[in-house]
Amino acid sequence: MPHTKPLFFRYLGSLFAIFLSVVSWQTRAETPTFILTSIKPLALILQEAYGDLITVDYLLPPQASPHHYSLKPSDLRKLSKADLFVWAGPGLENFLLTVLKNNPADFQIALIEEMEKSHPELLIHLNALTEHTDSDHSHEDQLVDPHIWLNRENAAAIAQLTGMRLEEAGADPGRISMAFNTFEQKLTNLTGTQTTNLNELQLITYHNAYAYLARDLNLTITDIVTPQTDVNPGAKHLVQLKQKAIDHPTCVIVEPQFSSKLVDKIFDQEGTKIIEIDPMAGQSATYTDFFSDTLRKLENCK
Ligand SMILES: [Zn+2]
191 CA → ligand 1 middle, Å: 24
Kindly report, residue by residue over 180-213, the tens digit of the pLDDT.
Answer: 999 999 999 986 555 566 777 789 999 999 999 9
Kindly report, residue by residue over 31-44, the tens digit of the pLDDT.
Answer: 559 999 999 999 99
Q: Is 72 left (phi over 0), alpha (psi -120 to 50) or beta?
A: beta
148 CA → ligand 1 middle, Å: 10
- Reported CATH class of domain 28-189: alpha beta
87 CA → ligand 1 middle, Å: 14
Which pLDDT score is estimated for 74? 96
d(CA 34, CA 162): 12
String of DSSP letters for 39-55: SHHHHHHHHHHHTTTEE
Domain regions of the chain by residue span:
28-189, 198-299
Which pLDDT score is estimated for 259? 87
Residue type, 205: T
Domains 28-189 and 198-299 share a fold: yes
Cβ neighbours of 92 (radius 10 Å): 22
18 CA → ligand 1 middle, Å: 51
196 CA → ligand 1 middle, Å: 26
Q: 198-299 domain in CATH 3.40.50.1980?
A: yes
160: phi then psi, degrees, rounded to nearest 5: -65, -45
d(CA 183, CA 162): 13
Question: What predicted TM-score, i.e. pTM, was given to this entire model?
Answer: 0.84
Cβ distance 63 to 257 under 8 Å? yes
209 CA → ligand 1 middle, Å: 5
CA angle at 230 for the pair 299 and 207, rounded to the nearest 5°: 20
Kindly report, residue by residue over 234-290, the tens digit of the pLDDT.
Answer: 899 999 999 999 988 899 999 999 988 889 988 988 889 999 999 999 999 999 999
Kindly report, residue by residue over 251-263, the tens digit of the pLDDT.
Answer: 999 999 998 888 9
